[in-house]
């Protein structure tokens, strides 16, 4: 197909490829500074306890120990990401009065070696008074439950009520109504690079530099400013390559605050690296929750009303859990038209490590319930599961009153393409095989501003030098999703040059304009727009100059393409890019060409400027003897607007399905009174190479007016449908129903027996 673009839309290898395949690219984990100390935390063995005293005298006597700090040494106050609502900024650097989960840090040591730091931690004596704890959200809201944060009655951390239409009337008019209950388990993040930070404080200037494995240098700068009682501008955050984030590296965590505090105390660089057990037991995860859902439909399958109530297991602090609560409701309605909808959600504090944003942020558990319920309804009503979805799909311009508007919307052609392809792809199923469907959609960056940033949501600066080379500055965070490649592709396309002409300077708060970071699938659209605007300013200068030199009719359009600036209709009339750059800089009194760009969504509703969407089909096989479920094959039809880099987009989809399959089949975090029972990669089961199915990905391109070159998100949408598509495939294969995710063999066997019993009873009743 002829395309009007020369860079975007073409499969492009990762610009960090050389760095990441040769070992030369440095992660924070790989950084060591001369004279550096190692920091390590003293952690609480109790889920809920008062701190009576901390005695560090023995630890301080150990040779090599340079400092021990406790909550008393923390100059700042509490912090959090919900800065618009200060009461939800509840995180603390080191617990001062009491601990709220097992593993909460109460003190930290700095020592010359890792081994000495570990020994010193053992020597810090902490006296606790144990308090009763609470571990389930339904227990936490009881009147006699212990309070985890004094100011939060019944341990309710946040609530959400969203409603449109007339839900009660919708149910009254429905021909078919059903209610279901689910319990969804939490999911660990498990970034391969653990949380770690290296801090270096300059006592002379009072300025801090910190290298950290973060998804958002700006959020870390804000969190540290609160924790350390410093000006944001006196803190420089540098994000080297990051070994994965998936939502778990948005919050400022104790690796960063402690490294900074110990560096300020000792005047030496300090590095804090969590070990894998600390990752599992003391860093954030996807929320677990109890859920009740009710749907009402017309005989023909049209959805008339839906109501959903959830109560989530929030853990000890807020993180981005309050946002997840909102998105859990909103994305449960996609990609369907639900005329009457009501959502009530409660997030409770419990004595566990807390829940936050994790890939598919909010959407994953509630979409599971909605998509699984839809199949149960379809089966009872005798409607084909794909047909019931087709009946209710959103269309371009669809609006949910007071919440969101969907501009580009390719979901109808996606489902039609799916229906066609599936006949060729899976014409016949084997015994005990089934096909499950699930629709999906996700935001291209969030509009909500709980962080309360006064800056634009994304910024970029382009500098074009005399030789035509470009320096591109932005705080946008590539944490593996491939945004560095997308960023230079967008810049190159706009300027009509190649990606090899651009040097990207990402993720440094001291040199680049603010970007809110990598969450909510926001970088392509939001940072892409900022980069396009910055490059566009320089392009305008070059075009104006070329136009003046050509002396052509002002109405004739010029384009920058393939390193030339020329008349669109008479390509032979023009100049080389390099010639124009040199001339423009000389005309500019020798100043390099600078373009600045920013992006903040306006008039786009409450949620997002644009939505990626589509439909997934999963083929699965059930072993009725062992209960083992095998995900055999996946088909996805996807609308992510104009694809910028097809390789990267495919990578994101594959990765989402992988993490979604873990949620579907193997990943859970059993917890005994606050203790995570499987805190290692041996015991926490991530899907492995042999268990990963092949994925066929078909695109339905659309153009979204909000996106750079029409692009939308491709990063997270496809995680949400994975688990329900799998559960629906098992339902299709053998009728087994599940009220949770994580279809381990014992759960599957139980559900099969239950289904067989129900079928027998039904047969009996018929007789």
Q: Is residue 342 a contact point for other proteins (CB under 8 A)?
A: no
Q: End-to-end alpha-carbon separation of the chain, Å?
A: 61
Using DSSP's 3-state secondary structure scheme, residue 763 falls into helix
Candidate ranges 29-37, 328-336, 532-540, 548-556; the one touching other proteins (CB under 8 A) = 29-37
Binding mask 201-240 for other proteins (x = CB under 8 A): ----------------------------------------
244 forms part of the interface with other proteins (CB under 8 A) = yes
Q: How far apart are CA 52 and CA 706, in angstroms?
A: 55
Task: Tell me: does residue 23 bind other proteins (CB under 8 A).
Answer: yes
Nearer to other proteins, 607 or 637 (CB): 637
- Interacting residue with other proteins among 6, 10, 19, 666 (CB under 8 A): 19
A 10 A CB-CB count for 744 gives 15
Residue 207 forms beta bridges with which residues? Answer: 202
Q: Which stretch binds other proteins (CB under 8 A): 17-25, 434-442, 624-632, 732-740?
A: 17-25
- Shorter beta-carbon distance to other proteins: residue 414 or 479: 479
For the segment 245-264, give every residue that binds other proteins (CB under 8 A): 245-246
Q: Would you say 147 or 681 has its CB closer to other proteins?
A: 681
Neighbouring-strand partners of residue 565: 560, 575
CB neighbour list of residue 477: distance below 8 Å, 6 or more residues apart: 214, 215, 216, 217, 239, 242, 245, 483, 506, 507, 515, 517, 518, 523
User: Which tokens go with 472?
Assistant: 């591109």
Q: Which of residues 658, 706, 713, 749 is near other proteins by CB under 8 A?
A: 658
- Taking the complex as a whole, the smallest distance from the CB of residue 188 to other proteins amounts, in Å, to 10
User: Is 34 a residue that touches other proteins (CB under 8 A)?
Assistant: no
Which residues on neighbouring strands pair with residue 54, listed in sequence order? 126
Nearer to other proteins, 25 or 146 (CB): 25
Binding to other proteins, residues 81-100 (CB under 8 A): none
Establish if 630 lies at the interface with other proteins (CB under 8 A): no
Any contact of residue 22 with other proteins (CB under 8 A)?
yes
Of the residues 40, 66, 241, 306, which one makes contact with other proteins according to CB under 8 A: 241
344 binds other proteins per the rule CB under 8 A: no
Whether omega before 174 lies within 30 degrees of 0, making that bond cis, reads: no
Q: Which stretch binds other proteins (CB under 8 A): 315-323, 462-470, 676-684, 738-746?
A: 676-684
Stretch in the footprint of other proteins (CB under 8 A) among 204-212, 456-464, 473-481, 699-707: 473-481
384 touching other proteins, by CB under 8 A: no
Beta strands 235-238 and 207-212 are parallel
Candidates 333-341, 395-403, 456-464, 678-686 — which segment interacts with other proteins by CB under 8 A? 678-686
Separation CA 573–CA 552 (nearest Å) = 10
Between CA 386 and CA 439 the distance in angstroms is 9
Whether residue 488 contacts residue 472, with contact meaning beta carbons closer than 8 Å, is answered with: yes
53 touches other proteins (CB under 8 A): no
- Closer residue to other proteins, CB minimum distance, 191 or 408: 191
Closest CA to 470 of 585, 557, 575, 565: 585
Q: Smallest gap, in angstroms, from Cβ of residue 215 to other proteins?
A: 11
The site map against other proteins for 679-718 (x = CB under 8 A) is: -xxx---x-xxx-x-xx-----------------------
Tokens 């083929």 — which residue? 619
Are the CB atoms for 597 and 534 separated by under 8 Å?
A: yes
Please give the Cα distance from 756 to 744 (Å, whole number): 18
Structure tokens belonging to residue 387:
């047909």
Crossing angle of the two packed helices 577-587 and 528-550, in degrees rounded to 10: 90
Q: Which stretch binds other proteins (CB under 8 A): 269-277, 418-426, 502-510, 595-603?
A: 269-277
Number of residues in contact with other proteins under rule CB under 8 A: 54
Using rule CB under 8 A, residue 13 touches other proteins: yes
Does 269 contact other proteins by CB under 8 A? Answer: no
Indicate whether 138 belongs to the interface with other proteins (CB under 8 A).
Answer: no
Nearest to 28 by CA among 196, 227, 247, 266: 196
Q: Which is nearer to other proteins, 631 or 734 (CB)?
A: 631
In the complex with other proteins, which residue's Cβ is closer, 497 or 715? 715
Q: Which is nearer to other proteins, 145 or 479 (CB)?
A: 479
Helices (H), 301-340: 321-330
CB of 436 to other proteins, least distance (A): 18
Which of 429, 585, 647, 755 touches other proteins (CB under 8 A)? 647
Residue 648, interface with other proteins (CB under 8 A)?
yes
Residue 581 vs 723, nearer CB to other proteins: 723
* CB nearer other proteins, residue 19 or residue 550: 19
Helices and strands in the chain, H and E counts: 18, 33
Structural tokens at position 23: 């070992």
- Beta strand 196-202 with 270-273 is antiparallel
Query: CA 165, CA 341: separation in Å to the nearest integer?
Result: 6
- CB-based burial of residue 90 (10 Å sphere; 0-12 exposed, 13-18 middle, 19+ buried)? buried
Q: Could you write out the DSSP letters of every residue in 133-181? A: ---SHHHHTSTTSPPSSTTSGGGEEEEEEEEES-HHHHHHH-SEEEEEE
Question: Which residue lies nearer to other proteins by CB, 241 or 561?
Answer: 241
Q: Kindly identify the residues of this chain, within the stretch 169-198, that bind other proteins according to CB under 8 A.
A: 190-194
Give the C-alpha separation, 89 to 200, whole Å.
Answer: 26
DSSP assignment letter at 41:
E
Distance CA 711, CA 693 (A): 28
Work out which of 87, 122, 179, 277 binds other proteins, going by CB under 8 A. 277
Distance CA 687, CA 719 (A): 14
Binding segment (CB under 8 A) for other proteins, from list 218-226, 270-278, 421-429, 635-643 = 270-278
- How many Cα atoms are found within 13 Å in the side-chain-facing hemisphere of 604? 22
Contact between 444 and 438 under an 8 Å Cβ cutoff? The reply is no
Minimum distance between the CB of residue 660 and other proteins, rounded to whole angstroms? 10
> Of 197, 281, 323, 481, which lies in the binding site for other proteins, with binding defined by CB under 8 A?
481
**Minimum CB distance to other proteins smaller for 194 or for 394:** 194
Residue indicated by tokens 């149960």: 376
Q: Which of 432, 552, 654, 737 binds other proteins (CB under 8 A)?
A: 654
The whole-angstrom separation of Cα 472 and Cα 494 is: 13
39 touches other proteins by CB under 8 A = no
Tokens, residue 618: 């999963």
Answer yes or no whether residue 103 interacts with other proteins by CB under 8 A.
Answer: no
Residue 38 sits in the site that holds other proteins (CB under 8 A): no
Q: Contact positions toward other proteins, by CB under 8 A?
A: 13-14, 16-27, 29-30, 32, 190-194, 241-246, 275-277, 479-482, 647-648, 650-651, 654-655, 657-659, 680-682, 686, 688-690, 692, 694-695
């Amino acid at each position: 197909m002829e395309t009007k673009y020369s860079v975007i839309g073409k499969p492009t290898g990762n610009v960090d490829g050389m760095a990441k395949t040769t070992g030369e690219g440095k992660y924070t984990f790989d950084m060591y500074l001369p004279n550096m100390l190692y920091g390590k935390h003293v952690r609480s063995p109790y889920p809920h306890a008062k701190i009576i005293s901390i005695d560090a005298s023995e630890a301080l006597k150990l040779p090599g120990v340079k400092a021990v700090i406790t909550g008393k040494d923390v100059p700042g106050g509490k912090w959090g990401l919900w800065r618009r609502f200060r009461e939800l900024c509840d995180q603390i650097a080191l617990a001062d009065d009491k601990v709220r989960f097992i593993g909460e840090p109460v003190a930290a040591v700095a020592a010359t070696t890792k081994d000495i730091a570990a020994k010193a931690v053992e020597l810090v004596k902490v006296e606790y008074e144990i308090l009763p704890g609470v571990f389930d959200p339904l227990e936490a809201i009881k009147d006699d439950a212990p309070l985890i944060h004094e100011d939060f009655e019944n341990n309710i951390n946040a609530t959400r009520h969203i409603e449109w239409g007339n839900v009660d009337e919708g149910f009254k008019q429905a021909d078919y109504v059903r209610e279901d209950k689910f319990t969804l388990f939490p999911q660990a993040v498990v970034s391969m690079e653990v949380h770690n930070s290296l801090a270096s404080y300059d006592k002379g200037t009072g300025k801090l530099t910190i290298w950290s494995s973060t998804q958002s240098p700006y959020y870390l700068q804000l969190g540290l400013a609160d924790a350390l009682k410093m000006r944001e501008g006196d803190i420089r955050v540098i994000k080297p390559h990051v070994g994965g984030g998936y939502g778990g590296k948005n919050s400022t965590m104790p690796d960063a605050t402690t490294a900074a505090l110990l560096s300020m105390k000792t005047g030496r660089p300090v590095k804090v690296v969590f070990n894998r057990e600390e990752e599992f037991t003391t860093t954030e995860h996807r929320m677990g929750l109890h859920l009740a859902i009710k749907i009402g439909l017309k005989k023909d399958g049209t959805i008339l009303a839906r109501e959903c109530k959830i109560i989530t297991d929030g853990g000890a602090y807020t993180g981005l859990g309050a946002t997840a609560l909102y998105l859990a409701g909103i994305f449960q309605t996609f990609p369907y038209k639900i005329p009457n909808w009501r959502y009530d959600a409660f997030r409770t504090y419990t004595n566990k490590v807390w829940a936050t944003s994790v890939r598919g942020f909010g959407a994953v558990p509630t979409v599971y319930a909605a998509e699984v319920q839809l199949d149960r309804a379809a089966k009872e009503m005798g409607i084909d599961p794909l047909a019931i979805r087709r009946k209710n799909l959103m269309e371009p311009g669809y609006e949910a009153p007071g919440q969101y508007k969907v501009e580009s919307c390719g979901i109808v052609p996606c489902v039609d393409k799916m229906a066609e392809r599936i006949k060729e792809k899976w014409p016949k199923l084997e015994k005990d095989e089934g096909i499950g469907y699930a629709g999906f959609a996700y935001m291209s960056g969030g509009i909500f501003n709980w962080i309360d940033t006064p800056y634009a949501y994304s910024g970029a600066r382009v500098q074009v030098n005399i030789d035509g080379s470009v320096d591109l500055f932005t705080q946008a965070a590539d944490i593996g999703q491939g945004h560095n490649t997308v960023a230079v592709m967008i810049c190159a396309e706009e300027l009509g040059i190649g990606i090899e002409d651009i040097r990207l300077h990402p993720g440094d708060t001291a040199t680049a304009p603010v970007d809110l970071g990598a969450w909510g699938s926001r970088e392509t659209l939001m940072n892409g727009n900022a980069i396009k605007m910055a490059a566009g300013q320089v392009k305008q200068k070059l075009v104006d100059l070329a136009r003046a030199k050509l002396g052509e009719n002002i109405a004739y359009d010029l384009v920058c393409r393939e390193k030339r600036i020329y008349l669109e209709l008479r390509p032979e009339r023009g100049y080389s890019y390099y010639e124009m750059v040199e001339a423009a800089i000389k005309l500019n009194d020798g100043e390099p060409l600078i373009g600045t760009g920013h992006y903040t969504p306006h008039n786009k509703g409450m949620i997002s400027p644009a939505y990626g969407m589509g439909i997934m089909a999963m083929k699965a096989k059930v072993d009725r003897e062992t209960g083992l479920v095998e995900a055999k094959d996946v088909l996805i039809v996807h609308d992510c607007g104009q694809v910028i880099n097809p390789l990267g987009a495919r990578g994101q989809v594959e990765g989402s399905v992988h993490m979604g399959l873990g949620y579907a089949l193997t990943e859970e975090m059993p917890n005994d009174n606050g203790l995570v029972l499987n805190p290692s990669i041996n015991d926490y089961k991530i899907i492995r190479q042999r268990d990963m199915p092949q994925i066929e990905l078909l695109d339905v391109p659309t153009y979204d007016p909000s996106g750079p070159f029409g692009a939308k998100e491709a990063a997270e949408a496809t995680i949400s449908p994975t688990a329900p598509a799998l559960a629906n495939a098992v339902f299709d294969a053998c009728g087994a129903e599940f009220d949770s995710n994580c279809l381990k063999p014992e759960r599957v066997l139980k559900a099969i027996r239950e289904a067989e019993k129900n079928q027998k009873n039904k047969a009996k009743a018929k007789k």
